[in-house]
Amino acid sequence: MTICKKCVMDDQNDKNINFDQDGVCNYCKTFASKKNNFIFSSEDEKSNLEEIKKKILKLKNNEYDIITGISGGVDSSYLIYLIKKLNLNPLIVHFDNGWNSDLAVTNIKNILDKTKFDYITEVIDWDEFKSLQRSFLKSGVVDIEILTDHAITATLYKYAKKYKIRTIFSGSNFLTEHGMPEEWSWHKSDLRNIIDINKNFENFQMKTFPRFNTVNILLEMIKAKFRIGNWIQKIQPLDQINFKKFEAIKILEEEYDWVYYGDKHYESTFTEFYQAYILHKKFKIDKRKPHWSCLIRNNEFSRENALNELKYDPYKTMEITNKKKDFFIKKIGLSNEIFQQIILSTPKKHFNYKNDNYIFQILKFYRRFLNPKNLYKSICRIF
């Protein structure tokens, strides 16, 4: 196994990684080529936030300036802090899929109590959602989280249209989320994949699951690109500031009595077990590697500490492992025997089920070739 000399990414279960003659991986090299786009002077950072506010207020045509989701995690919570700082009036949406940790619930309550922002909690039918999750577990595909991610996006667009809100704030950001191997996830908008996996396994009637399809999102992108009708802009404010995870945590602790939950996305008990056990045991994937590698490149975590932690499983003792596993199996409604069969079964690709990949390939072609910014370069390469 080859490990990058700068971060902790390796070639275990990552077909797309490569290393230069100095042993540096392509993820570190991509970061080095792009990092200056995400590093700002204090004046530039202030100017960026002012520009964001102008873009929002220019489109505003209703009570709320923006809509954004909150999970209780670092990124979404820090977005709320920025919204307060910008003196904006948001509608906050929480998607409750039944897997909130106690810390997430407390963090959300503290933030909403102190900001007094309006909020909506979208609660999905539990029997329906856990059946969908069981179907994905039984299917053998890697990205079980597509269900929650898909539903969150659908919910945000639903309420944006209902309340005529023209701006969606996203907590996605380059500095703490770049460099995830492509084969470790799937397209979040692929409703065809969700429907077919459900049909092949539990075939539970989907009545409350928030949904959209790839064409819907494509149309939203086109409307935003060419400013057609009541188009909705999506903004990633964390890419316009010098975002540091642990600095953000310190601010959240001081402002909202916020409590850290241990690792990226562990505000969800499902995501915690999915990343710490299912991915680790069934797919031989350790998401701590890309998560920590981002922090190493962002000068927030040492490579030595990461390498030392990676000597241990995410759940460091069998006592913790068994406790977490028993909780998960009982909550999702599986027997120990069936769950063990799922873990030991051969992983399958999302391609094994109906999917919208052809649409994503068209989009990739558009972005690389037909995008006006890249058209000249593409033509030069051809001729």
Mean pLDDT of 7-23: 96
- Give yes or no for residue 374 having a pLDDT over 90: no
d(CA 272, CA 265): 7
pLDDT value, residue 217 = 80
Per the prediction, the chain carries an average pLDDT of: 92
Mean pLDDT of 120-128: 96
Mean pLDDT of 300-321: 95
Range in 190-194, 198-202, 378-382 with the lowest mean pLDDT: 378-382
Chain-centre distance for alpha carbon 55: 24
Chain-centre distance for alpha carbon 151: 12
pLDDT value, residue 219 = 86
Give residues with Cβ within 8 angstroms of 214, minimum separation 6.
187, 189, 190, 191, 192, 356, 359, 360
pLDDT value, residue 362 = 77
| Residue with the larger pLDDT of the pair 106 and 220 | 106
pLDDT value, residue 376 = 40
Residue 367, domain member (yes or no): no
pLDDT value, residue 220 = 85
Residue 362, domain member (yes or no): no
**Tokens 């209703």 map to which residue?**
62
Residue 292, domain member (yes or no): no
Band of pLDDT at residue 363, cut at 50, 70 and 90: confident
Question: Coil, strand or helix: which one is 217?
Answer: helix
pLDDT value, residue 284 = 96
pLDDT value, residue 383 = 32
Give residues with Cβ within 8 angstroms of 373, minimum separation 6.
none
Mean pLDDT of 239-257: 97
Residue 7, domain member (yes or no): no
Tens of pLDDT along 152-180?
A: 999 999 999 999 999 999 999 999 999 99
Tens of pLDDT along 226-240?
A: 889 889 999 999 999
- Give yes or no for residue 370 having a pLDDT over 70: no
d(CA 111, CA 252): 9
* Distance set, CA 122 to CA 30, 154, 156, 259 (Å): 38, 11, 10, 23
Band of pLDDT at residue 367, cut at 50, 70 and 90: low
Task: Residue 48: give the domain boundaries.
Answer: 41-283+315-352
d(CA 1, CA 10): 7
- Give yes or no for residue 373 having a pLDDT over 60: no
- Listed residue (292, 159, 146, 171) closest to 239, CA to CA: 171
Residue 297, domain member (yes or no): no
Residue 52, domain member (yes or no): yes
**What total number of domains does the chain contain?**
1
Tens of pLDDT along 89-118?
A: 999 999 999 999 999 999 999 999 999 999
| Cβ(50)–Cβ(86) below 8 Å | no
Residue 146, domain member (yes or no): yes
pLDDT value, residue 369 = 60
pLDDT value, residue 214 = 83
- H and E: helices and strands count for the chain: 18, 5
Mean pLDDT of 201-209: 96
pLDDT value, residue 261 = 81
Mean pLDDT of 325-345: 97
CATH code for position 146: 3.40.50.620
pLDDT value, residue 382 = 34
Residue 92, domain member (yes or no): yes
Residue 110 one-letter amino acid: N
- Give yes or no for residue 377 having a pLDDT over 50: no
Helix (H) or strand (E) holding 153: helix 146-162
- Give yes or no for residue 375 having a pLDDT over 70: no
pLDDT value, residue 202 = 98
pLDDT value, residue 301 = 96
| Cβ(288)–Cβ(277) below 8 Å | no
